[in-house]
Amino acid sequence: MTQALLPIEIDSRDLRQAFGCFATGVAIVSTQTPEGRPVGMTVNSLASVSMSPPALSWCLRNESPNYDNFVRARYFGVSVLAHDQEALCRRFATPRDDKFAGVAVTPGESGVPLITSAVAAFECEHLEAIACGDHAILIGRVARYAWRRQCTPLLFFQGALHAAELRPLR
């Protein structure tokens, strides 16, 4: 028998720091507006969901200026950033009119822009958006993907970006 969790007072800044103890990769998610304009943003909430069917998820803040664009889009792209792409990470994390201006992209078959030099890229068909507090969890079926071997990813840990040398423990 499980015990019910008792409500506690949460310090949101402290909780954010605790969440930040989980090292993650960094990705740019992208889609197109109904008019065909590319939009994108930096995320570190990417997770694989299923191998059959192949699916992934990421989280989107309800107050995001592109919330409607992503939730209503039929397709979205995910570009996992390499250790030397910190400038792209910051560019897509900052509000600006055209984040894609001057950025090398390859359009997916659905038209979504994918960062050309990413560690991995996924083109996904939007399956579901699940409301959860101040965010939505977006789930997409992976339609196409590509990845590069022996490439160091950009990492996010305790509120900072890192380019750590990766070496197996065994």
Domain that holds residue 102: 25-158
Residue 6 located in a structural domain: no
Residue 75 located in a structural domain: yes
pLDDT tens-place string over residues 30-89: 999 999 999 999 999 999 999 999 999 999 999 999 999 999 999 999 999 999 999 999
CB 130 within 8 A of CB 47: no
Report which secondary-structure segment, H or E, holds 113. Answer: strand 113-115
Residue 17 located in a structural domain: no
Nearest CA-CA partner of 114 in 154, 143, 135: 143
Distance CA 78, CA 116 (A): 11
What CATH number did the domain enclosing 99 receive? 2.30.110.10
Q: What domain count does the chain have?
A: 1
Residue 8 located in a structural domain: no
Residue 152 located in a structural domain: yes
Predicted confidence (pLDDT) at residue 11 exceeds the cutoff of 80: yes
Residue 70 located in a structural domain: yes
Distance CA 39, CA 144 (A): 20
pTM: 0.91
- Report, in this order, helix, strand and coil percent for the chain, each rounded to 5: 15, 45, 45
